[in-house]
């Protein structure tokens, strides 16, 4: 009968839940990349890890956009209650593409974890420079004291 079509979104909700779990993997990857970069800060070899962090931020943004597209599509279908079940894949792809089209590289620079990473990196670089200066001062002081002892 027209108007009696019922669409079950259980599979969609299950898949969406699995995608949300993927966010924790992305966050873990970002934490690991941060720790590796902080270990490399003394060697000034952190550029690669900064790129890795940006890649994780990109994955996180894409995953969020995809989940937003799914949720918006499901909500739209629930409100419209169409007689014919629409092609969810096409509708989600359209919404996802629209969200992705507004992306910019500056969005990635504003990612919360990336900003935190950059702040920590900046602090660690300051500490390394301070530590290096203290080491140099100590070496000079030891050298001068040895010279005066001769």
- CA-based diameter of the chain, in Å? 106
Q: What is the pLDDT tens value at each position of the chain, 150 positions in all?
A: 444 555 678 888 888 998 888 888 998 988 888 888 777 766 666 777 888 889 999 999 999 999 999 999 999 988 887 788 788 899 999 999 999 999 998 889 899 999 998 898 888 878 776 555 555 445 555 555 555 555
Number of alpha carbons in the 13 Å side-chain half-sphere of residue 91? 13
Q: List % helix, strand, coil for the chain (3-state, nearest 5).
A: 85, 0, 15
Closest CA to 48 of 58, 28, 33: 33
Q: Is 149 exposed, middle or buried (0-12, 13-18, 19+ CB in 10 A)?
A: exposed
CB 97 within 8 A of CB 72: no
Q: Where are the domains of the chain?
A: 10-149
């Amino acid at each position: 009968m027209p108007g009696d079509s019922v669409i079950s979104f259980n599979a969609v909700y299950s898949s969406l839940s699995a995608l949300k779990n993927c966010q924790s993997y992305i966050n873990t990857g970002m934490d690991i990349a941060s720790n590796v970069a902080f270990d490399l800060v003394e060697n000034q070899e952190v550029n690669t890890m900064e790129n890795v962090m940006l890649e994780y931020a990109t994955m996180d943004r894409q995953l969020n956009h995809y989940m937003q597209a799914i949720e918006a599509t499901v909500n739209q279908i629930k409100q419209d209650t169409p007689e014919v079940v629409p092609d969810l894949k096409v509708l989600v792809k359209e919404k996802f593409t629209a969200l992705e089209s507004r992306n910019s590289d500056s969005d990635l620079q504003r990612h919360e974890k990336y900003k935190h990473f950059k702040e920590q990196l900046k602090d660690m670089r300051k500490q390394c420079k301070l530590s290096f200066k203290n080491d140099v001062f100590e070496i000079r002081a030891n050298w001068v004291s040895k010279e005066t002892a001769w």
